[in-house]
Structure 1
Amino acid sequence: MKSLRSIMHKLVLVLLVFATFQIRGQELNALVIVNSEQVQSSNKQVYSTLQSSISDYINNTKWTNKSYKPHERINCAITLTILEQPSANEFKGNISIVASRPVYNSTYQSPIFNYIDNNFSFNYTEFQNLIYNENSFESNLVSVLTFYVYTILGIDADTFELNGGEEYHKKAEKVVNLAQQGGFSGWNRIDGNNTRYQLNENLLSPTYKDFRSTMYTYHLKGLDLMSENKTEAKTIISKAILNLNAIYNTRPNAFLLRVFMDTKSDEIIDIFSAGPRINAVELKETLLKIYPTYSDKWDKIKV
């Protein structure tokens, strides 16, 4: 089984390549991949149909009441890996999501959300329409896709305005509440940790408000300033990351800390392992404390 780090690295590379192409869409430019290599099936065509249906659903749905210019659309890559097919219309596996946003005055795409949801099962009949009903549960496939679309929109908006994604996180919350009627795992408090329920609850909870403020400061006040003043931008980014201490001090095993580090760790290393150098002693110590899993990465930070 490939490590999360390896999978995420490959997905980021796919996303960055994909970002150079302009395709149809509303708010999202989504590259969708359905991987069925681990499943023996007499009908492989269903996976191609599923991939096309998901791509059409995500890219051609109008998710907000805002107008997005082509260059403003959010680039993302969504990969469904099918691990089991218990019956003709039943599928089990995982779904990975990578999303990015452009950095001001550059061609660089900064990752804002890298995540693998391992608790994913759904029913799908070939050629069925994927339609979201905001007033009732229709299918787990549609609910999961819709949930992650709104989560991407929310996190993206949070990087441009403090708590700017509240509206979309609330819409994702509505998806969670409706999906609880379906009986699938991942939507309820009792389903454990690192679930869709927990992700949404944490994003909306005042307990973890520093995650969203960090995302805002890191991107709009930090990365977007890079083209003008790298030293100042790096100082601001460092302070934004240090702000996560507030979460660690009350919830050292917080789900959102892992989400942040899995998303931003490689970028953090790229920023702080090259010049111009700033005093990053406190940053390095904080990262080693908050997320020692990536200690090999943090060692590359030039202090």
Structure 2
Amino acid sequence: MRKLCALVLLCILCAAALQAQELNTRVQLMAPTVPNINKRNLEILQNTIREFLNNNKWSNETYTPPERIECNFVITITAWDGSSAYKAEAQIQSSRPVYNTAYNSTLLNISDKDFDFNFNEGQSLDFSDQNFISNLSSLLSFYAYTIIGLDKDSFSKLGGTHFYNKAQNILNVAQVSGNKGWKAFDGLRNRYWLNENLQNKSFEELRQFIYDYHYTGLDQMQEDPAKAAKKIAALLSGLKLMDKQKLGSIFPNMYLATKADELVNVIAVLPDPQDVIKAYNLLAEVDPANINKYEALRTKGKR
């Protein structure tokens, strides 16, 4: 009887632990151009990464299974030394659900070209936000906190700040490793600058936009599409407050590129062609890099 009670208690605790985690991550690991790579080790590594992201507790909050943040890590091995050293690139995506729909809106879609690490078969991944343990655990932890931060920003005004600070802790301790992507001089579109932008007051308008766009815009689309689209169109003028010299920085560049197609679909709902043209002009000004995608709105507005 005692054994049965202990088993039931263990099941309850396990179920509670599963409900507590923040991320629901799918991981795909591949090495299409690397000959003779250890396929078994890749499969073990893929499972290890997925378990690290999904089973670690990244906050003090409890998430129910439907609340867990959907994310994808597609990691492409580009070189292997025959032992434990891997050179890799990663495509990292995350999304959040739109209220009362089956649609998920992308929040993060970023390519990391310096996703290099060491891993031995049977090695466990340990987590610490105060000490450098391995580049792989630092990479995964950094993006876990960034993903949660962006998700928080979409549900509350500047709600992700605490998690960007956590990501900065990871970044600071990882700089001693000598691995690329953690320092300012490693390039203009790396982890250092992503974290810097997310915490820079120059981009608070964009973070504010993320909240207003999702929480007061997209989440209302099911109830009144035209009204929600008009609200979102009005929000675009706030992006003009950003320093024009900073529009090419990694955060606005990444975020607006991620949202371009979605914005076209939302603005196209506007019933008044003049409102469509006005939104097109704003988008062309704040996001000229994706002007080709916005041309469909200009065409629609002229009809």
TM-score (norm 1): 0.88
The amino acid of 2:278's aligned partner reads E
| Alignment partner, residue 130 of structure 2 | 135
Query: Could you list the per-position Cα deviations for residues 190-220 of structure 1 after superposition, in whole angstroms to 9, with x for gaps in the alignment?
Result: 2120110000011011111111101000000
Structure 2 counterpart SS, 1:237? helix
The separation in 2 between residues aligned to 1:190 and 1:70, in whole angstroms, is 40
Query: Could you list the per-position Cα deviations for residues 67-96 of structure 1 after superposition, in whole angstroms to 9, with x for gaps in the alignment?
Result: 111111110111101111134111112111
| Alignment partner, residue 64 of structure 1 | 59
Alpha-carbon deviation of 1:184? 0.5
The separation in 1 between residues aligned to 2:36 and 2:248, in whole angstroms, is 40
Could you tell me which runs of 5 or more consecutive residues in structure 2 were left unpaired when the two chains were aligned.
Answer: 1-17
| Match among 89, 92, 95 for residue 90 of structure 2 | 95
| Match among 152, 156, 160 for residue 151 of structure 2 | 156
**Worse-superposed segment, 247-256 or 140-149:** 247-256
| Alignment partner, residue 285 of structure 1 | 281
Higher Cα Rg, which structure:
2
| Structural RMSD (CA) | 1.6
The separation in 2 between residues aligned to 1:290 and 1:248, in whole angstroms, is 10
Q: How many residues align?
A: 280
Alpha-carbon deviation of 1:255? 1.9
| Alignment partner, residue 169 of structure 2 | 174
Alpha-carbon deviation of 1:297? 1.0
Alpha-carbon deviation of 1:229? 1.7
| Alignment partner, residue 265 of structure 1 | 260
| Alignment partner, residue 35 of structure 1 | 30
Structure 2 counterpart SS, 1:116? strand
| Alignment partner, residue 233 of structure 1 | 228
The amino acid of 1:256's aligned partner reads F
| Alignment partner, residue 4 of structure 1 | none
**Worse-superposed segment, 194-203 or 116-125:** 116-125
Structure 2 counterpart SS, 1:284? helix
Q: Say if 1:248 and 1:290, in contact at 8 Å, map to a contact too.
A: no
Alpha-carbon deviation of 1:280? 2.2
Alpha-carbon deviation of 1:135? 1.9
Alignment CA distance shift 1:238-1:56 (3 Å): same
| Alignment partner, residue 122 of structure 1 | 117
Alpha-carbon deviation of 1:242? 2.9
Structure 2 counterpart SS, 1:180? helix
The separation in 1 between residues aligned to 2:114 and 2:151, in whole angstroms, is 24
| Alignment partner, residue 4 of structure 2 | none
The amino acid of 1:284's aligned partner reads Y
**Worse-superposed segment, 253-262 or 130-139:** 253-262
| Match among 207, 215, 227 for residue 210 of structure 2 | 215
Query: Could you list the per-position Cα deviations for residues 215-253 of structure 1 after superposition, in whole angstroms to 9, with x for gaps in the alignment?
Result: 000000100111222122112212223322222524232
Alpha-carbon deviation of 1:266? 1.6
The separation in 2 between residues aligned to 1:126 and 1:277, in whole angstroms, is 60
The separation in 1 between residues aligned to 2:271 and 2:158, in whole angstroms, is 31
Alignment CA distance shift 1:67-1:277 (3 Å): farther
**Worse-superposed segment, 274-283 or 284-293:** 274-283
The amino acid of 1:171's aligned partner reads K
Could you tell me which runs of 5 or more consecutive residues in structure 1 were left unpaired when the two chains were aligned.
Answer: 1-23
**Worse-superposed segment, 173-182 or 35-44:** 35-44
The amino acid of 2:242's aligned partner reads I
The amino acid of 1:266's aligned partner reads D
The separation in 1 between residues aligned to 2:38 and 2:82, in whole angstroms, is 12
Higher helix share: 2
The separation in 2 between residues aligned to 1:35 and 1:78, in whole angstroms, is 11
The amino acid of 2:48's aligned partner reads S
Q: Say if 2:284 and 2:291, in contact at 8 Å, map to a contact too.
A: yes
Structure 2 counterpart SS, 1:114? strand
Q: Say if 1:248 and 1:254, in contact at 8 Å, map to a contact too.
A: no
